[in-house]
Structure 1
């Protein structure tokens, strides 16, 4: 069973990698390649198209708590297959949409489907299949899928758009989801080693009879967690973290070009930073396993603060050495935005109700994404990104204090 468990566990990591590559990267990281061609073809402002991304993020945020509970309680394989199918259907709807209204309606479904296929179920799966000595490394490899997807699929979708049109590109994305992911999820995904052992992954367990759930008396329920002030402090911390990390991606290029950097160089800086992030996630996962979750999380929070502060300071001195330092700090620090949550939450609350609690905290990521509009409002009001970067630097420094003080066990006995 140990050999089977080990092989199945790493197979699940591989499937998770591909899910994040073909669903998360397509729906989140690659939407930018469609802004101009879709807007021009449908005769709409670009703002109207980008509203699809906001609607999708809002739907994902609202559905995350429901997804966490359902994935914990019902058959995960069936829910993930349904979510993957829904994602593909959304791509097909985009490919034939005669107006932007269809994008908005499909965007709602897309947000829900991402909640049921990506970060939450993948975190639960890896939590069930790996112990603390390998969990961080496994998470790191799985979550590299989103970055790898952005690197591979952005140029692929752009090529299809230029050669055959944006509708063909959306159709291709949906076909990838159906042809590649559905069979892999169906054959490989099993919620836990216990379900594989006793039922070969075919039985649907309720939360009461699931053999994978090892309930401890001092583990928190979601209701218990919501009553703790520390919960809301860490929730705010993850909102700040998402807001800050996404600000670098969404506003980094316009900021760099504002102070005179050529657009091609600015785009290359962000692209190289994304490549550094891929390596950084794998290294960070191994560091979590070796040196401890809290210690590495706080260290990476400090690095994120230095990364953002150094980024806007470079706008004043325009030093290539500072840009190189930014890329290094980005690769070291930003992995905390995705890797720390599924590792910190069991320390704070225990593992018994991980899915429900993870679902609740995942809404912080959606909220942080929606708050990106604040960065644009600051720029429109002041004509500069500097006030926004200074505010983000202060908030990131506050985050170091928040996680150092509150991201620790709230139970009578540590794990």
Structure 2
């Protein structure tokens, strides 16, 4: 008994696998995409708005495929799904390096998006929910922080590689690197549920102290049918839409930097600072949520986000201030990956978490479909990023009200006896 207690719970090995997978897929592929926008548009003579339409296509694919992905994760072997998914995502990203026309981005972003749904959006929250009944917020924070850790290394490296070897080589290098590391990691560490290892979830044994029915505590919450009709759900959708639109600015940080006179190497370093901010923010938001709750943490994140927006509008031409603002922005944007799942759990419990979350994250897909290409066309037409920064600031204020409304809606569900 004492020896068993001293063993590292397998939940932590699952988390390690998730951290490597999500960290490399996000830090090496998803957030690195913005570094390529200016070099590709300049080399191939494509308008910024036209190229960034591939983000919109990605978001449409994501929105259509999300409900299917939720059912597939429930039905099939998670490891096989994730191996195929990382090949689709990272392999498609590598293929961008061979393209000569914008249609290549439009085509390969489809399999890239399908793979990304499993790797960066669905698998992490579902597996953490299965494996962690204790330290849930910390586990989500560590997973999201991994994107910042790997991004802090890979983003400056990608900027230097684009500068020295070109954007084509860099696309291929990053895509292959991610596949080579993530595929064996998934096979070795990922398991869908504690039952597959003959274990209970981390912290589940503490529930047994009460009595003979620990499972009833684990599945507390509302049904998907009730949740999807509630005001809380619509407020959460608004939050997801706005916070993703805010985070989407990250794809334009490097092109924004170059627009005001900095070079690709500086842009890569600035994105490294963004990722360090994301790393610290993900850990901070996970722990903060465990201490002060998802509601207060979300409001704090949105109010803090106004600081870098003001700095980028007023003092972006100062290199030091630019880097500080981008690092704070990254800190705030960490709340997307951390607060999304945790707000969903806080509002609706985990009775039918997978179905509720997979529907709620459509707000993420809609935001990508609208915000990313909209930003691109704003830049293409105005040759400025000021309007985008004002829009980001407004959305942060909107999100404060969305969170307040969401938790008012939860109280209505509890009063109606629908939370059980």
**TM-score (normalizing by structure 1):** 0.80
Q: CA deviation at 1:4?
A: 8.9
Cross-structure match for 1:72: 74
- Determine helix, strand or coil for the equivalent of 1:334: helix
Go from structure 1 to structure 2 and tell me whether the alpha carbon gap of 1:214 and 1:98 turns closer, same or farther (over 3 Å shift): farther
1:2-401 equivalences in 2 (<5 Å): 6-35=8-37, 43=44, 45=46, 47=48, 49-91=51-93, 93-97=95-99, 100-132=102-134, 134-157=135-158, 166-197=167-198, 219-247=221-249, 249-252=250-253, 262=262, 269=270, 271-314=272-315, 326=325, 329-330=328-329, 332-370=331-369, 371-378=371-378, 385-401=385-401
Deviations 1:12-44 (A, max 9, x none): 222112212332333322224444665677x45
CA distance in 1 between counterparts of 2:8 and 2:362 reads: 32
Q: Deviations over 1:115-173 (max 9, x none)?
A: 011221111111221224x1222211211222233332234445555666655544433
Cα deviation, 1:285-335, whole Å, max 9, x if unaligned, reads 1222222222222222222234434542446xx788966874574355332
Gaps of 5+ in 1: 200-211
Q: How large is the RMSD of aligned CA atoms in angstroms?
A: 3.7
State how far apart, in whole Å, the 2-side matches of 1:129 and 1:141 are. Answer: 14
Q: Displacement of 1:222 after TM fit?
A: 3.1
SS in 1 for 2:9: helix
Cα offset for 1:55? 2.5
Deviation per CA, 1:231-269: give whole Å up to 9, x if none: 11220122111112322x2455666777x6755777755
Contact 1:277 1:335 (C-alpha < 8 Å) held by counterparts: yes
The answer to whether 1:404 aligns with 2:404 is yes
- Number of aligned positions between the proteins: 397
User: 2:88, 2:112 within 8 Å by CA — same for their partners in 1?
Assistant: yes
Q: Secondary structure at the match of 1:30?
A: helix
Secondary structure at the aligned position of 1:65 is classed as: helix
Cα offset, 1:189, TM superposition: 0.6
Q: For 2:165 and 2:67, how far apart are their aligned partners in 1?
A: 39
**1:159-208 CA distances to partner (integer Å, 9 max, x unpaired)?**
55566665554443343344322222112111121232179xxxxxxxxx
SS at match of 2:198: helix
The whole-number CA distance in structure 2 between the counterparts of 1:320 and 1:99 is 34
Deviation at 1:337, TM superposition (A): 1.8
Change (3 A) 1:135 1:186: same
- In the superposition, relative to structure 1, how do residues 35 and 120 fare at CA in structure 2: closer, same or farther (>3 Å)? same
